[in-house]
């Protein structure tokens, strides 16, 4: 993933939310607007694919979202931060400290 693709993806996510948001344990995903209005779900984590497509999830569905495109993620945006980390960095933190999304939360 180029820095330009990642920068553009993050800009879109910060302005409009991720491409889709996981709303259930079966991995169903909807637009960020529908997730918020119909399900009262806002993402705590956003996984960014190598083509700029993104998938957000609340803490309770973070592992489900991650597994959907597990080998395609290149960046991760942990809310409320606005600077992404690489997927490799996310995995390193997860292996050493536990899941940075779900630890200490719901």
Is residue 106's pLDDT more than 60? no
- Cα distances from 19 to residues 5, 40, 43, 68, 85, in angstroms, run 14, 17, 11, 14, 18
In a domain, residue 53? The reply is yes
In a domain, residue 96? The reply is no
Question: What are the pLDDT digits (tens) for 17-38?
Answer: 999 999 999 999 999 999 999 9
User: Residue 83's domain spans which residues?
Assistant: 3-87
Average pLDDT over residues 58-63: 95
In a domain, residue 104? The reply is no
In a domain, residue 65? The reply is yes
Is residue 14's pLDDT more than 80? yes
In a domain, residue 94? The reply is no
In a domain, residue 75? The reply is yes
In a domain, residue 93? The reply is no
Q: What b/e readout covers 77-105, taking b as 16+ CB neighbours within 10 angstroms? A: bbeeeeebbebeebeebbeeeebbbbeee
pTM of this structure: 0.87
Number of domains in the chain: 1
The per-residue pLDDT for 99 is 75
The per-residue pLDDT for 41 is 97
In a domain, residue 64? The reply is yes
């Amino acid at each position: 993933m180029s820095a330009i693709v990642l920068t553009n993806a993050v800009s879109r996510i910060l302005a409009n939310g991720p491409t889709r948001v996981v709303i259930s344990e079966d991995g169903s995903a909807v637009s960020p607007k529908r997730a918020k209005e119909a399900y009262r779900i806002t993402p705590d984590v956003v996984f960014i694919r190598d083509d700029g497509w993104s998938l957000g999830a609340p803490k309770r569905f973070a592992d489900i979202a991650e597994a959907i495109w597990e080998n395609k993620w290149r960046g991760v945006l942990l809310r409320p931060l606005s600077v992404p980390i690489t997927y490799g960095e996310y995995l390193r933190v997860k292996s050493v400290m536990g899941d940075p999304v779900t630890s200490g939360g719901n």
